[in-house]
Amino acid sequence: MLENNILFIGIDLAWSPRNLTGAAVLRGGANGAELIDHCLLGTDAAIAEYIARHAGAGPAIVAVDAPLWVPNETGRRPGEAELGQAFARYQAGAHPANRSRLAFDGIVRGEALVAGLAELGFVHAAEVVAGAPVRQVIEVFPHPAMVALFSLDRTLKYKARPRRGADLRLSEWRRYQNYLDALAAADPPLHGQAALTAQDVAALRGRRLKDYEDQVDALMCAYIALYAFRWGAARCRSFGTFEDGYIFTPVPEGMWP
């Protein structure tokens, strides 16, 4: 059936085209999905080709962890401000996005990706309609999504940051992997992630660890797309506005309509 052959594609888009981008693809529908591919990609053309190859001409939701529309030259977008206020207690605020910070040669990479996907029939929209078999691209942010999906008191501290020790990061990585494994029993369920989450993070260093992180975060983005397809506005929300810049994410039960 059509509803079981929808693609949910997660893209952890590197802000600079000099860095690699994580990608992950789920196939399924509102009753659940399976991880069928994950990899690292380089150029904008390679990212678009990857999406086109997996999505074909069928329905697909592409969830991108990167600003997809940045009208402001400086400061931050309303979406970052609203999300930061809503998720302050969880330490899940977003970095400010503006053109002076994100543009390379005058081009914001997320905007270029949206333009390229438009040529493939993907519509950029700030909301996902539950159960609608669309071709859509949407901006997401894994940290508040993890808070909502994993019922966290604060975000997971697995990323490299100043004064964040290796022991804490390793412990948080194991929690992250366990939470992803537990999505097998979620609504909607995720399957096929074990080969990725079984990685011994303690054996990774430097570039290898960052490459792994980018692919796991892409899986998280893909699951956000699946979750949005299952629940739509009942359990998800877009912060900010499409015109001024937004961020879409699942939200905790206390924020459900």
| pLDDT (0 to 100) of residue 106 | 87
DSSP string for 159-178: S--TT--HHHHHHHHHHHHH
Q: What is the pTM of this model?
A: 0.96
Distance, CA of 122 to CA of 137 (rounded, Å): 6
Q: List Cβ neighbours of 244 (8 Å cut-off, separation of 6 or more).
A: 71, 72, 77, 78, 79
Task: Tell whether the model's pLDDT for residue 2 goes beyond 60.
Answer: no
CB distance 96 to 75 below 8 Å: yes
Q: Which residue(s) pair with 128 in the sheet?
A: none
Among 84, 135, 141, 85, CA closest to 114: 135
Cis peptide before 188 (omega within 30 of 0): yes
Domain count, the chain: 1
CB distance 224 to 232 below 8 Å: no
Q: List Cβ neighbours of 114 (8 Å cut-off, separation of 6 or more).
A: 68, 69, 122, 124, 137
| pLDDT (0 to 100) of residue 1 | 36
| pLDDT (0 to 100) of residue 11 | 98
**3-class DSSP assignment, residue 124:** strand
DSSP letter assigned to residue 158: -
Note the pLDDT tens digit of each residue in 93-145: 999 999 999 998 889 999 999 999 999 999 999 999 999 999 999 999 999 99
Mean pLDDT along residues 40-46? 96
Lowest-confidence region among 15-24, 33-42, 208-217:
15-24
Mean pLDDT along residues 147-172? 95
Which residue is it, tokens 């659940």? 32
Mean pLDDT along residues 50-66? 97
CB distance 26 to 8 below 8 Å: yes
Percent of the chain with pLDDT over 90: 94
Note the pLDDT tens digit of each residue in 174-225: 999 999 999 999 999 999 999 999 999 999 999 999 999 999 999 999 999 9
| pLDDT (0 to 100) of residue 8 | 98
Contacts 24+ apart (CB under 8 A), 82-90: 82/239, 82/240, 83/141, 83/144, 83/239, 83/240, 83/247, 83/249, 86/144, 86/239, 86/251, 86/255, 87/143, 87/144, 87/147, 90/144, 90/147, 90/152, 90/153, 90/154, 90/155
- At 3, is the pLDDT very low, low, confident or very high (cuts 50, 70, 90)? low
| Domain at 132, CATH number | 3.30.420.10
Task: Tell whether the model's pLDDT for residue 15 goes beyond 90.
Answer: no
| Tokens (6 digits) for 218 | 């892409």
Note the pLDDT tens digit of each residue in 99-108: 999 998 889 9
Q: Which amino acid is at 224?
A: I
Distance, CA of 125 to CA of 127 (rounded, Å): 6
Percent of the chain with pLDDT over 70: 99
Distance, CA of 163 to CA of 40 (rounded, Å): 28
* Domain, as residue range, for 141: 2-255
